[in-house]
Structure 1
Amino acid sequence: MSSPGDLPDAEVVPKKRWRIPWIWVVPAVAVLIGIWLAVQTVLEKGPTVTISFKTGEGLEAGKTKIKFKDVEIGIVKSVVLSKDYTRVVATAELTRDTANMLVDDTRFWVVRPRVAGGSVSGIGTLLSGAYIGMDIGRGKDARRDYTGLETPPVFASDVPGRQFVLRAADLGSVDVGTPIYFRRLQVGQVTAFELDKDGSGVTLHVFINSPYDRYVNADSRFWQASGLDVTLSTDGLKVNTQSLVSMLIGGLAFETPAASLSWAQAPANTTFTLFQTRSEALRVHEHIVETYVFNFTGSVRGLAVGAPVEFRGIPIGEVAAINTRFDPVTRQISIPVEVKLYPERFTSRFESGPKKGRLTNDPKALANFLVANGLRAQLRTGSLLTGQLYVALEFFPDAKKASIDWSRTPPEMPTTPSGLASLQDSINRIMTRIDKLPIEQLTASAQQTLDNTSALMQNLNTQVVPQATNTLAAARAALEAAHSTLLPGSGLQQDTTEAIRELTRTAASFRSLADYLQEHPEALLRGKPEDKK
């Protein structure tokens, strides 16, 4: 057994370090680079959005690009059908810097060749292919799934201007992109339209570009300016149009009356009424309207709804309705014409008086006073060319006494026949008197007169005419004898010439005697001196 001193001493050997073989350096560097690239890719990867469309026309996975202001910002990765197979869902990856652009009201649409509203867009896609356009919204809430627009928006969200709403009875020739004119300048366009839920009309959304939107206030009037606006009224034929473009593709126009040019600008999304014509749009908006009925017994051919009601040439109302009425008591049919009168048309003519309101605080008493003094309604011809009629309110002092029937609703004002109707009545009265004449007795008397006249003419032919012929022959013989006597060379003519000569010589002798007596007046008593020898 060995003793402890026989054991060898322990030596401390340092631990060897673990070293990576050089062969692993390259794979390690590759892994690190891959990790860095992966992290970089994740960090630089943009948001992914889904956009649904009705159809997949023009959409191709890996090819269709997404552009904003013609700058590529993404690409479509996949195109699949929705779960209910009603739409097409496109999944697209966008660049990282587009994250702030994806808000609640951001819009997407497919850009392809399109013709609408007289404008052509997307022609460049014929060569490059369709792409998805994008417009940034103004919202603040982030969003990643969208419903694409079927038609491109008319204007971008960053275009200055204001949107307004128009209400119309029908769409007419309006389409998305239809131009809007102000004093024949194109200042905006139609952005969208839709049928009202109750089907009573159409709602249009329009956009007026800046700075022209400042000319729109609460009293502005919009109307259809499509094609030719031809109006045939009591004033004759009128033709209005905005431009050749509006004649071909349609258009809208607006104007603000001069009396309201100083009004404040209308706020965005203000609702206006879209009128059919300019004349209808610029018609004065009345605040007070009174309804009356004028009951005519004659024909109202040529009178139409909308025809003016005038007082001494001033329009004070218009025809609202034309009806018929049968009176069971008199068993007669009349034509009640319902009219709307505007009392403010009288007060607005005063320079120093009120511009609005009624002419008096007691309109019923005023109406009774005017009717009592001969105020009547009468149909008159407004134009011989068109034959259209209008209602005239005039004073007829000789008219029969009448009053307003306030028991009816609306109240009924008295009328008087028109001038043509009065002439027709006069002719009818004359014909009635002629009918009452004893035509047969007059005919017999006329026949007797004709027989007497025929007998007289026969007597003249048998008795008077021969005697008159003899008398004329004798007169002719006398005239011929006188003519032959007066011919040059006749005996009477020679005798007359000789007598005239003798008279001439006698006159000369008297002239010599007169001259001698003037020189020797004493010769009347004494005679000539030669005679005394």
Structure 2
Amino acid sequence: MPEIAPAPGKTSPPAGSRRRFSWIWLVPIIAAVGGLLLVLRVWMEAGPQATISFQTAEGLESGKTQVRYKEVNVGIVQRVALNPDRTGVVATVRLNKEAAGLLQEGTVFWVVRPRLTLSGVSGLSTLFSGAYIGLDPAGHNAKDIPEKATKFSFVGLEVPPEVTQDRPGKRFTLKAHDLGSLDIGSPVYYRRISVGQVVGYRLDSSGKGVDIQVFVDAPNDAYVNEGTRFWNASGVDFSVDSRGLEVRSQSLLSVIVGGVAFDTIETRLHAAAKPNASFPIYSSETAARAQPDGLPLRIRMRFDQSVRGLSVGAPIDAFGAPVGQVDSIGLELDRTTNQFYALVGATLYPERLGAKTFEEIREFSGSSLEHPSGKLMAAMIERGLRAQLRIGNLLTGQLYVAMAVFPDADPATFKMEEAPFIPTVPNNLDQLQLQLNSILTKLDRIPFDGLGAEVGNLLQGTSRLVKRLDTQLAPEASAMLRQAGKSLAVVGGMLSPDAGLPVNTATLLQELARTARSLRELADYLQTHPGSLLRGRAPDTVPARAPSR
């Protein structure tokens, strides 16, 4: 067969250069597409990524440490590294897609490890499963938690929160002078039942007090209202009064770890307290149940005697009721006498006498604590109101200030000012000391030397008199006694039974008895025959002779 020549200008391909597409290439293409789809699916199903800062990486491992919420695994730690300034670590975690909404403002993270606290032992399960990161979102229910992540950088807690944010109840802030024996986990009591706990504390903005965070579980948080008062229930409260020794304590746990108690003191109805409301905390139940302080009234007192035993905070009683306390104690120099005296500053709370009494006082005096006129105080001082130091404890010698009326007190003037002076009187011991000093002064004025000489002369004269009595009067007295003995002997002889005087006396008595009997018979006869006084005695009748037989 003849060969066909190629067309001019074209060259024919070499033999075997044409190849068809091989189906074997579909396998890697399908694998690549499947892998790409798988990666795309994993990327689409992957949850958000977040960073958490901790002080240490103890218990954290990349690819192993889990992130849990309510003991459910919701993520895993992907990377652990030092932060840029090398003061801590940053853990990169990835959460599941369905848990993305947990990354929000207010969510807290912490590392769960075995811990021993006042509230008990926690994290024991990590001894076998290893540490994990706990999570607590800010929302209290599912409606409060968004569907997507809104925050991706967090600072982890080094200590787990005592109360989760979704726990039903309310938080309150207690204002205290110091923390005392309270600590995180200390119980909160209502009528001796534990209804909450202390969850945190910090210094206030001024640095002069402590803000204590407490949490009261529902439904007991409804008992906290505007009239509720909190007090420190730590330890044991001892009191000695007319009823004897009284010991009060909330529980054995509060003695060991401290505690807080509360109750509604006022009887009127109050609205329930709002979350994060602030309350002052009192030092004891007695202080909490006392009358409200109200507006203060500053006073000053001058004492010219020793104030040893009086301390800042000592109570001030008015007619037996506590109405204030001592704020300061200082010394001042009196230029007129060049002697020091004690200047005591104090605060009075008239409202402690009761709201009704306080209103009557204001109505009577025509003044208020904001604009006091001093009319009532001046009238009371004119009637003898004075301040006096008294012993409150015989064992310790502790003093307190008593406001009482002394009708015999020296007159004093009163001037109302920002911190008026209240006149004072010495206490009983000082008065007794003054009286003893006065007696000793009078005794010093007695001339004991002259009295001693006079007493010596008196004793000498007495000695001479005794000697004279012994030499002159004694013999005469002996003779007189002997003569008196003889006279008594004669009288005794005359009165003896054999003497004539007793015999004659007996005969005389017999005759007197016969005479008295005759007079009695005469009186009987005259009573029977009264006419005999005129006619005489009738002749005696002859008795009749009996007839003979």
The reply to whether TM is greater than 0.5 is: yes
Q: What is the aligned partner in structure 1 of residue 211 from structure 2? A: 203
Contact 1:165 1:205 in 2 (8 A): yes
- Cα deviation, residue 247, structure 1: 0.5
Q: What is the aligned partner in structure 2 of residue 265 from structure 1? A: 272
Contact 1:312 1:392 in 2 (8 A): yes
Q: Deviations over 1:47-105 (max 9, x none)?
A: 33322211122222333222211122222233222232211222233322111111122
Q: Where do 1:256-335 residues align within 5 Å? A: 256-259=264-267, 262-335=269-342
Give the alignment partner of residue 249 of structure 2, picking from 205, 230, 241: 241
Q: Deviations over 1:121-146 (max 9, x none)?
A: 11222233222111122376612232
* SS of structure 2 residue aligned to 1:258: coil
- Cα deviation, residue 176, structure 1: 2.0
In structure 1, how many angstroms separate the alpha carbons of the residues matched to 2:427 and 2:153?
A: 73
Contact 1:257 1:282 in 2 (8 A): yes
Structure 1 gaps, min length 5: 3-15
Point out the more displaced range, 240-249 or 42-51. 42-51
In structure 2, how many angstroms separate the alpha carbons of the residues matched to 1:266 and 1:248?
A: 30
In structure 2, how many angstroms separate the alpha carbons of the residues matched to 1:301 and 1:463?
A: 69
Q: Where do 1:82-481 residues align within 5 Å? A: 82-138=83-139, 142-196=150-204, 199-230=207-238, 239-259=247-267, 262-344=269-351, 348-350=355-357, 359-361=365-367, 363-364=372-373, 366-367=375-376, 369-370=378-379, 373-381=382-390, 383=392, 385=394, 387-406=397-416, 410-457=419-466
Q: Deviations over 1:133-165 (max 9, x none)?
A: 111223766122322110001111111222222
- Which AA in structure 1 matches 2:194? Q
* SS of structure 1 residue aligned to 2:440: helix
Q: Where do 1:26-45 residues align within 5 Å? A: 34-45=35-46
* SS of structure 2 residue aligned to 1:410: coil
Q: Deviations over 1:344-395 (max 9, x none)?
A: 45673449x6697884238435147415633331315364645444433344
Q: What is the aligned partner in structure 2 of residue 10 from structure 1? A: none
In structure 1, how many angstroms separate the alpha carbons of the residues matched to 2:214 and 2:480?
A: 106
In structure 2, how many angstroms separate the alpha carbons of the residues matched to 1:368 and 1:52?
A: 65
Contact 2:321 2:353 in 1 (8 A): no
Q: What is the aligned partner in structure 2 of residue 6 from structure 1? A: none
Q: 1:438 to 1:529 in 2, by over 3 A?
A: farther
Contact 1:117 1:179 in 2 (8 A): no
In structure 1, how many angstroms separate the alpha carbons of the residues matched to 2:83 and 2:292?
A: 53
- Cα deviation, residue 465, structure 1: 6.5
Q: What is the aligned partner in structure 2 of residue 13 from structure 1? A: none
Q: 1:391 to 1:193 in 2, by over 3 A?
A: closer
Q: Deviations over 1:303-345 (max 9, x none)?
A: 3333343443344433332222211122122222223233445
Q: What is the aligned partner in structure 2 of residue 58 from structure 1? A: 59
Q: 1:328 to 1:47 in 2, by over 3 A?
A: same
Point out the more displaced range, 418-427 or 247-256. 418-427
* SS of structure 2 residue aligned to 1:154: coil
Contact 1:235 1:382 in 2 (8 A): no
Q: Deviations over 1:200-257 (max 9, x none)?
A: 3333322222222223334433332221244689999765432211110112223332
- Which AA in structure 2 matches 1:214? A
In structure 2, how many angstroms separate the alpha carbons of the residues matched to 1:131 and 1:216?
A: 37
Q: Where do 1:69-88 residues align within 5 Å? A: 69-88=70-89
Contact 2:53 2:89 in 1 (8 A): yes
Q: 1:464 to 1:279 in 2, by over 3 A?
A: same
- Which AA in structure 2 matches 1:322? I
In structure 2, how many angstroms separate the alpha carbons of the residues matched to 1:347 and 1:228?
A: 29
Q: How many residues are paired up?
A: 507
Contact 2:387 2:423 in 1 (8 A): no
- What value does the CA root-mean-square deviation take over the aligned residues? 4.6
* SS of structure 1 residue aligned to 2:327: strand
Contact 1:236 1:385 in 2 (8 A): no
Q: What is the TM-score of this pair, normalised by structure 2?
A: 0.75
* SS of structure 2 residue aligned to 1:149: coil
- Cα deviation, residue 197, structure 1: 5.8
Q: 1:237 to 1:447 in 2, by over 3 A?
A: farther
Q: Deviations over 1:450-491 (max 9, x none)?
A: 3344445555666667777888899899999999999xxx98
Structure 2 gaps, min length 5: 3-18, 140-144, 526-531, 544-549
Contact 2:365 2:376 in 1 (8 A): no
In structure 2, how many angstroms separate the alpha carbons of the residues matched to 1:129 and 1:190?
A: 29
